[in-house]
Amino acid sequence: MKPTVTLNQGLDVPRLGLGMWQIPDGDAESLVGTALEAGYRGIDTATSYRNERGVGAAVAASGIPRDEIVVTTKLWNSDHGTDEALRAFDASLERLGMDRVDIYLIHWPLPLRDRYLETWRVLEKLHAEGRIRAIGVSNFTAGQLTRLMDRCDIVPAVNQVELHPAFQQAQLREFHAAHGIATQAWSPLGSGQGLLDLPVLGEIARAHGRSPAQVVIRWHLQLGNLVIPRSSAAARIRENFDVFDFSLDEHEMARIASLDTGQRRGPDPDTFDYG
């Protein structure tokens, strides 16, 4: 499997990147450094994770050419609106120590405030100016994406959503595929809430001499998802990247498909209005 895919806006991005939620800024530089040494070329941060400085420092210190690393960051909920979004974007760039962001996402749609179209037009402008290489969204429903595509010019490159074996989002994935939007899975391992202990995953892992986390990451890759597992441990960061030399067969994919509960664990994008 090729380690990158080309987004609808033309940017080549790694299928597998490092998630940065809940990583303190003080740990970010060393963990991102570990990931880059292990072969990762995608890092997923956000304004609200408060670790953009550490991420930027690690990218700068890595010695890897800047255009080989894809850094994603996100516009936080309090920054919807034209002036707010422009300010928030500049502040992210300053913290990252960069002159452009590779992927910039609207973190949540906040339909109750209904400012995401206005905010999206700011991202379109920054993209046109070359200050963002690809623009996308996170936590958008098919209905919100449809409205955005009807009313704005650029189709989002990515929609980053909750997606793991217990919440597989088949309909939304189909919608994305039909519109050329990449599906990026957040909490791909179930965010440390026992998902990896499910016996089916253990059985498949043993059959391959792999860990349950590696099996789940491989499942995401074979579905075509972009995937961004997080770990605060260097050994697990390396383990989670070591997934390109085995594959799950149809029967194993079907067994994991049967783990879907249809229940999200995180907030509902239609009602979430925090921050």
Ligand X SMILES: NC(=O)c1ccc[n+]([C@@H]2O[C@H](COP(=O)([O-])OP(=O)(O)OC[C@H]3O[C@@H](n4cnc5c(N)ncnc54)[C@H](OP(=O)(O)O)[C@@H]3O)[C@@H](O)[C@H]2O)c1
Q: Which residues bind ligand X (CB under 6 A)?
A: 19-21, 44, 107, 138-139, 160, 186-192, 196, 211, 213, 228-233, 236, 239-240
Beta pairing partners, 14: 4
CA distance 136 to 149: 12
**Range list of β-strands (E), 89-212:** 101-106, 132-138, 158-162, 182-186
DSSP summary character for residue 96: H
Residue 71 CB, nearest approach to ligand X (Å): 12
Residue 46 CB, nearest approach to ligand X (Å): 7
Q: Which one from 40, 49, 104, 116 is the annotated catalytic residue?
A: 49
Q: Indicate the angle between helix axes 142-151 and 116-128, nearest 10 degrees.
A: 60
Q: Where is 4: in which H helix or E strand? A: strand 4-6
Provide the greatest CA pair distance for the chain. Answer: 54
Question: Is residue 107 part of an annotated ligand binding site?
Answer: yes
Close Cβ partners of 258 (under 8 Å, ≥ 6 residues apart): 200
Please count the other Cβ atoms lying within 10 Å of the Cβ belonging to residue 81: 15
Q: Where is 19: in which H helix or E strand? A: strand 18-19
Radius of gyration of the chain (CA): 18
Report angle CA 132, 52, 61 to the nearest 5 degrees. Answer: 90
Residue 187 CB, nearest approach to ligand X (Å): 4
Please count the other Cβ atoms lying within 10 Å of the Cβ belonging to residue 173: 19
Dig out the tokens for 258 from the structure. Answer: 């049967």
116 is catalytic: no
Residue 10 CB, nearest approach to ligand X (Å): 23
Residue 195 CB, nearest approach to ligand X (Å): 8
Identify whether the C-beta of residue 68 lies closer than 8 Å to the C-beta of residue 37: no
Q: Which residues are annotated as a binding site?
A: 107
Q: Which residues are annotated as a binding site for substrate?
A: 107
Residues catalogued as catalytic: 49
